[in-house]
């Protein structure tokens, strides 16, 4: 199994993008550019489809993505102060694994 390593300083933007992930697969694993892009897209499509279907996504050593239903609540327009009801909605939550938390803490 290959271990992909990169530093934040090597990234062009402060956020890691799908294009940069594909470039890392190309540079460090040897997939061609098209295969790299397709693999990254397929990975994120699979995660998104699972969440849309209401399934939790667990990435060992990284964390869990879960769908949660938020109850309706009263809201307020910040400009006018007018009360606006906010309906029930589904949101994605992420909980980092203990391994990831330990890595972040150093």
For residue 30, pLDDT over 90 is answered with: no
Q: Which CATH number fits domain 1-55: 4.10.520.10, 2.30.30.90, 3.30.450.40, 3.40.47.10?
A: 4.10.520.10
Tokens of 93: 């939550």
Instruction: Report domain extents, the chain.
Output: 1-55, 56-106
pTM of structure: 0.72
Which distant-in-sequence residues (6+ apart) come within 8 Å of 82 by Cβ?
A: 76
CA-wise closest residue to 90 among 74, 60, 67, 63: 67
Classify residue 54 by its DSSP letter. Answer: T
pLDDT one-digit tens code per residue, 44-101? 999 999 999 999 999 999 999 999 999 999 999 999 999 999 999 999 999 999 999 9
Fold identical between 1-55 and 56-106? Answer: yes
User: Do the beta carbons of residue 96 and residue 62 sit within 8 Å?
Assistant: yes
Q: What is the CATH number of domain 56-106?
A: 4.10.520.10
């Amino acid at each position: 199994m290959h271990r992909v390593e990169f530093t934040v300083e090597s990234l062009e933007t402060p956020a890691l993008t799908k294009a940069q992930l594909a470039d890392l697969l190309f540079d460090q694993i040897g997939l061609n550019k098209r295969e790299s892009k397709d693999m990254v897209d397929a990975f994120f499509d699979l995660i998104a489809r699972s969440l849309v279907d209401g399934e939790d996504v667990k990435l060992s050593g990284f964390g869990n993505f879960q769908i949660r239903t938020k109850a309706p609540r009263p809201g307020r327009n910040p400009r006018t102060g007018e009360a606006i009801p906010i309906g029930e909605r589904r949101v994605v939550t992420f909980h980092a694994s203990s391994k990831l938390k330990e890595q972040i803490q150093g």
